Amino acid sequence: MKIICIGRNYTEHIEELNNERPEEPVVFLKPDSALLKNNDPFYFPAFTNELHHEVELVIKISREGKNIQPKFAHKYYEEVGLGIDFTARDLQQKAKEKGLPWEKAKAFNHSAPVSGFVDKKLFSNLQNISFSLEKNGKSVQQGNTSLMLFPIDELIAHVSQFFTLKKGDLLFTGTPKGTGPVQIGDRLTGKLEGQEMFDFEIK
Using CB under 5 A, list all residues that contact Zn ion.
54, 85, 175
Q: What is the closest distance, in whole angstroms, from the C-beta atom of residue 124 to Zn ion in the complex?
A: 26
Rounded Cα distance between 178 and 166, Å, is 32
In terms of CB distance, is 29 or 65 closer to Zn ion? 29
Q: What is the closest distance, in whole angstroms, from the C-beta atom of residue 184 to Zn ion in the complex?
A: 22
In terms of CB distance, is 54 or 134 closer to Zn ion? 54
Q: Which residue number places its CB atom closest to Zn ion?
A: 85
- SS3 for the chain is CCEEEEECCEHHHHHHCCCCCCCCCEEEEECHHHEECCCCCECCCCCCCCEEECEEEEEEECCCECCCCHHHHHHHEEEEEEEECCEEHHHHHHHHHHCCCCHHHHCCCCCEEECCCEEHHHCCCHHHCEEEEEECCEEEEEEEHHHECCCHHHHHHHHCCCCCECCCCEEECCCCCCCEECCCCCEEEEEECCEEEEEEEEC
In terms of CB distance, is 65 or 95 closer to Zn ion? 95
Q: What is the closest distance, in whole angstroms, from the C-beta atom of residue 5 to Zn ion in the complex?
A: 6
In terms of CB distance, is 54 or 153 closer to Zn ion? 54
Q: What is the closest distance, in whole angstroms, from the C-beta atom of residue 121 to Zn ion in the complex?
A: 26
Q: What is the closest distance, in whole angstroms, from the C-beta atom of residue 9 to Zn ion in the complex?
A: 8
Rounded Cα distance between 136 and 150, Å, is 31
In terms of CB distance, is 22 or 65 closer to Zn ion? 22
Q: What is the closest distance, in whole angstroms, from the C-beta atom of residue 52 to Zn ion in the complex?
A: 9
Rounded Cα distance between 48 and 106, Å, is 11
In terms of CB distance, is 175 or 189 closer to Zn ion? 175
